[in-house]
Amino acid sequence: MNFDFSDDQREIKRTARDLLAGRSSFERVRAAAEAPAPPAYDPALISELGELGWPGIAVCEEHGGQGLGAVELGILLEELGYACAATPFLGTVLAALAIEHAGSSQQRERWLPGLASGEVRGALGSAGAIVPDAPGAAVVVLLDDDGGATVLDTAQDGVTVQTVATIDPTRASGRVSARADVGEELPGDVAAAVGRAAIAVAGELVGISQRALEMTLAYVKERKQFDIPVGAFQAVSHRCAQMLLYTESARSATYYAAWAADAEPQRLAEAAALAKAAASEAGREVTASAIQAHGGIGFTWEADVHWLYKRAQLDAAFLGGTGTHRATLARLVSTRLHTMDA
């Protein structure tokens, strides 16, 4: 039993942290969000991430990826969440995950090399729901209500991507619909692919939570009232302790799920629900607490904590929120107990 990252994984994390600190400071995030038609992505960042091979980190080598796993992908997303990076990365890796794990060999050959190199942008989401990174995506994996999924070439007639302005101007979102005769079904295990996607989103939420916690700690150590740092007041310090509890809970569940996705896929469904439930709760609670602990400043447009809060809200709602996954888990456990008794 070893919950630690390998040296290589630690190196990926450190490299990502350093790179994004330079290329995706809050100044840059703000610039993307405050553009006339947000988000205004930085093309240099997109191509740099592509050159580094990040979009293909979990795509098999046969199709131009790095052939690494859910843990490494989770690390990258955690760091992108930590930076609140305004770049169309999430949708691309989620589409690639679904096509890689549930696509036909033809679908993989057609889409994976472009997605892995970052030259082709993708998105994944449910029909009728908000789909992150849908505007600008060349390929969308659209989930239907019955547990199936369709791969859509957005250049085709009959596919509509409607841009939706959400509360998060750092990421483009849209709704996707398609005529019934358009697109190809994903023949494989769609549920497992969606589980992997949920774990990846949980990774981003862990990073968002970690950043919100760190920003809050820095602020409450600095900000003084009654001649002492406000972080010395238990009403504030206990809130910070609670933020750590949420963040570490999400981290435990998400790291476990990312590991299980590759090492013990029979646990994937349950682990994914666990990770998404814990991380969605953490993202929302921790970023809300960050605003509160920053006081009036935290409620201003000028402070940066609101970018994290907004991203957390969208991520939490995406692919099922805390409540949905909790209910799923209770019923999974109930079924398991019933089977054991029978």
Partner 1 sequence: MDLTFNDEEAAFRDELRAWLGANDAGPEPQGDEDAHYRWRRDWQRQLADARWAGVHWPSEFGGRSATLTQSAIFFEELGRSRAPLPADVLGLLLAGPTLMVWGTDAQKERLLPTILNAEEPWCQGFSEPDAGSDLAALKTRAVRDGDDWVVTGQKVWTSGAQFAKWCMLVARTDFETPKKHQGLTYFVLDMDQPGVIVRPLRQITGEAEFNELFLQEARIPDDAVVGGVGNGWKVAMTTLMNERSGLAFFLQVRLRNQLDKLIEEVAARGMLDGAGGNAIAQKLGDLHVKAEVIRLTAYRGLTAIERYGQPGPEGSLTKWMWSQANQELTQLAVDLLGDEALTADSPWSYELLRARGNSIEGGTTEVLKNIVAERVLGLPRMR
Residues lying near partner 1 in the complex (CB under 8 A) are found at: 1-6, 9, 71, 217, 220-221, 228-229, 231-234, 237-238, 240-242, 244-245, 248-249, 252-253, 255-256, 259-260, 263-264, 274, 277-278, 323, 325-331, 333-334, 337-338, 341
CA distance 237 to 160: 49
Only one residue has tokens 């009728």, namely 128
CA distance 271 to 267: 6
Cβ 71 to partner 1 shortest distance, Å: 6
User: HEC string of 205-220?
Assistant: HHHHHHHHHHHHHHHH
The residue type found at 316 is A
CB 293 within 8 A of CB 233: no
Cβ 195 to partner 1 shortest distance, Å: 16
Nearer to partner 1, 19 or 329 (CB): 329
* 296 alpha-carbon distance from chain centroid: 29
Nearer to partner 1, 14 or 221 (CB): 221
3-state secondary structure of 157: coil
Max Cα separation, the chain?
A: 69
Cβ 243 to partner 1 shortest distance, Å: 9
Nearer to partner 1, 112 or 290 (CB): 290
3-state secondary structure of 188: coil
The residue type found at 173 is S
Cβ 215 to partner 1 shortest distance, Å: 13
Nearer to partner 1, 181 or 341 (CB): 341
Nearer to partner 1, 67 or 136 (CB): 67
Cβ 82 to partner 1 shortest distance, Å: 17
